Amino acid sequence: MRRPVAAAAFAAVLLFAWLVPGGAAWAADRPAALAAPAVGGQPPAGDGPWVVRAWFEERSQVARLAAEIEPWEVRYEAGYLVVGVDLAGYRLLLDLGFTVEVDRDLTAKLTRPRRALPGQVAGIPGYPCYRTVEETFASAAALAAARPDLATWIDAGDSWEKTVDPSEGYDLMVLRLTNAALPGPKPKLFVMASVHAREYTPAELVTRFAELLVGAHGSEPDPTWLLDHHEVHLLLQANPDGRKWAEQGEWWRKNTDNDYCSDTSSRGADLNRNFEFLWGCCGGSSGFECAETYRGPSPASEPETQAVQDYVRAEFPDQRGDDPGDPAPPDATGVFLDVHSFSELMLWPWGYTTDPPPNSTALQTLGRKLAYFNGYYPEQAIGLYPTDGTTDDFAYGDLGLAAYTYELGTSFFQDCVTFEDVILPDNLRSLTYAAKVARTPYLTAAGPDALALTASPLVAQPGQPVLLGAVIDDTRYENSNGSEPVQPVAAARATVDEPPWSAASPLAMDPADGAFDQPAEPVAATLDTAGLADGRHTAFVEGEDADGNRGAPSAVFFWVLDPATAPIIDGFVRESGSGLPLAATVTAAVFSTVTDPATGYYSLMVPPGSYTVTATAEDYAPASVDGVEAVASQTVRVDFDLDPICAVFADDVESGNQGWAADSPWAITDESSHSPSHSWTDSPGGNYSNLRDDALVSPPFDLSAVSGTTLGFWHIYDLEPGYDFGYLETSTDGGGTWSTVRAFNGWNQTTWTAEEVALSQLDGQGEVRLRFRLETDVSVTGDGWHLDDVVLAGGSPGCARPAPIFADDFESGDLSAWSSVVP
What is the binding site for Zn ion (CB under 5 A)?
A: 196, 340
**Binding characters for ligand 0X9, 358-387, by CB under 6 A (x = yes):** -----------------------x--x--x
**Which residues are CB-neighbours of 325 under 8 A, at least 6 positions away?**
358
Contacted entry of ligand 0X9, Zn ion, none for residue 70, CB cut-off 5 to 8 Å set by kind: ligand 0X9
Q: How far is the CB of 272 from ligand 0X9 (least distance, A)?
A: 4
Burial status of residue 578 (CB atoms within 10 A of its CB: 0-12, 13-18, 19 or more): exposed
Q: How far is the CB of 86 from Zn ion (least distance, A)?
A: 19
Q: Which region among 89-97, 388-396, 478-486, 685-693 touches ligand 0X9 (by CB under 6 A)?
A: 388-396
The nearer residue to ligand 0X9, 189 or 494, going by C-beta atoms, is: 189
DSSP codes, 598-612: TTTEEEEE--SEEEE
Q: How far is the CB of 199 from Zn ion (least distance, A)?
A: 5
Q: How far is the CB of 82 from ligand 0X9 (least distance, A)?
A: 11
**DSSP code at position 581:** B
- In one letter, which amino acid is 764? G
Q: How far apart are CA 710 and CA 284, in angstroms?
A: 56
The nearer residue to ligand 0X9, 132 or 353, going by C-beta atoms, is: 353
- Comparing every residue's Cβ against ligand 0X9, the nearest one is 351
The nearer residue to Zn ion, 198 or 773, going by C-beta atoms, is: 198
Site membership for ligand 0X9, residue 255 (CB under 6 A):
no
Q: How far is the CB of 208 from ligand 0X9 (least distance, A)?
A: 19
Residue 407 CA neighbour count, 13 Å, CB half: 20
Q: How far is the CB of 377 from ligand 0X9 (least distance, A)?
A: 13
Q: How far apart are CA 558 and CA 47, in angstroms?
A: 65
Touching ligand 0X9, residues 60-89 (CB under 6 A)? 70
Which position among 340, 674, 692, 769 is part of the footprint of ligand 0X9 (CB under 6 A)? 340
Contacted entry of ligand 0X9, Zn ion, none for residue 384, CB cut-off 5 to 8 Å set by kind: ligand 0X9
The nearer residue to ligand 0X9, 70 or 542, going by C-beta atoms, is: 70
The nearer residue to ligand 0X9, 48 or 71, going by C-beta atoms, is: 71
The nearer residue to ligand 0X9, 186 or 295, going by C-beta atoms, is: 295
Q: Contact 601/638 with Cβ under 8 angstroms?
A: no
The nearer residue to Zn ion, 249 or 543, going by C-beta atoms, is: 249
Candidates 243, 242, 266; CA nearest to 256 is 242
Q: How far apart are CA 200 and CA 595, in angstroms?
A: 49
Quote the distance between the C-alpha of residue 150 and its chain's center.
23
The nearer residue to ligand 0X9, 199 or 652, going by C-beta atoms, is: 199
Site membership for ligand 0X9, residue 289 (CB under 6 A):
no
Site membership for ligand 0X9, residue 390 (CB under 6 A):
yes
Touching ligand 0X9, residues 195-224 (CB under 6 A)? 196, 199
DSSP codes, 89-148: HHHHHHHTT-EEEEBHHHHHHHHSPP-PPTT--SSBTTBTTS--HHHHHHHHHHHHHH-T
Q: How far is the CB of 329 from Zn ion (least distance, A)?
A: 30
Contacted entry of ligand 0X9, Zn ion, none for residue 769, CB cut-off 5 to 8 Å set by kind: none
Q: How far apart are CA 513 and CA 75, in angstroms?
A: 46
Site membership for ligand 0X9, residue 347 (CB under 6 A):
yes
CA distances in angstroms from 378 to 336, 364, 371, listed in the order given = 16, 8, 6
Site membership for ligand 0X9, residue 272 (CB under 6 A):
yes
CA distances in angstroms from 420 to 201, 270, 412, 415, 732, listed in the order given = 10, 28, 15, 9, 25
Contacted entry of Zn ion, ligand 0X9, none for residue 285, CB cut-off 5 to 8 Å set by kind: none
The nearer residue to ligand 0X9, 431 or 648, going by C-beta atoms, is: 431
The nearer residue to ligand 0X9, 213 or 434, going by C-beta atoms, is: 434
* Distance, first Cα to last Cα, the chain: 57
Q: How far is the CB of 170 from ligand 0X9 (least distance, A)?
A: 20
DSSP codes, 744-768: E-EEEEEEEEEEEEE-GGGTT-SSB
Q: Contact 171/303 with Cβ under 8 angstroms?
A: no
Q: How far apart are CA 533 and CA 560, in angstroms?
A: 7
Pairing relation of β-strands 489-496 and 507-508? antiparallel
Residue 823 CA neighbour count, 13 Å, CB half: 17
Site membership for ligand 0X9, residue 254 (CB under 6 A):
no
Which residues share a beta bridge with 604? 569
Which position among 228, 379, 393, 651 is part of the footprint of ligand 0X9 (CB under 6 A)? 393
Q: Would you call 545 helix, strand, or coil by DSSP?
A: strand
Site membership for ligand 0X9, residue 529 (CB under 6 A):
no
Contacted entry of Zn ion, ligand 0X9, none for residue 381, CB cut-off 5 to 8 Å set by kind: ligand 0X9
The nearer residue to Zn ion, 81 or 711, going by C-beta atoms, is: 81
Q: Would you call 617 helix, strand, or coil by DSSP?
A: coil
The nearer residue to ligand 0X9, 384 or 472, going by C-beta atoms, is: 384
Q: How many residues bind ligand 0X9 (CB under 6 A)?
A: 15
Site membership for ligand 0X9, residue 405 (CB under 6 A):
yes
Q: How far apart are CA 797 and CA 470, in angstroms?
A: 44
Contacted entry of Zn ion, ligand 0X9, none for residue 474, CB cut-off 5 to 8 Å set by kind: none
The continuous run of DSSP H or E covering 177 comes out as strand 171-177
The nearer residue to ligand 0X9, 71 or 746, going by C-beta atoms, is: 71
Site membership for ligand 0X9, residue 51 (CB under 6 A):
no
Q: Contact 785/746 with Cβ under 8 angstroms?
A: no
Q: How far is the CB of 398 from ligand 0X9 (least distance, A)?
A: 14
The nearer residue to ligand 0X9, 283 or 608, going by C-beta atoms, is: 283
Q: How far apart are CA 152 and CA 138, in angstroms?
A: 13
Largest CA distance in the chain: 90
DSSP codes, 633-653: T-EEE--EEEPBEEEEEEE-S
- Give residues in contact with ligand 0X9 (CB under 6 A): 70, 196, 199, 272, 340, 347, 351, 381, 384, 387, 390, 392-393, 405, 407
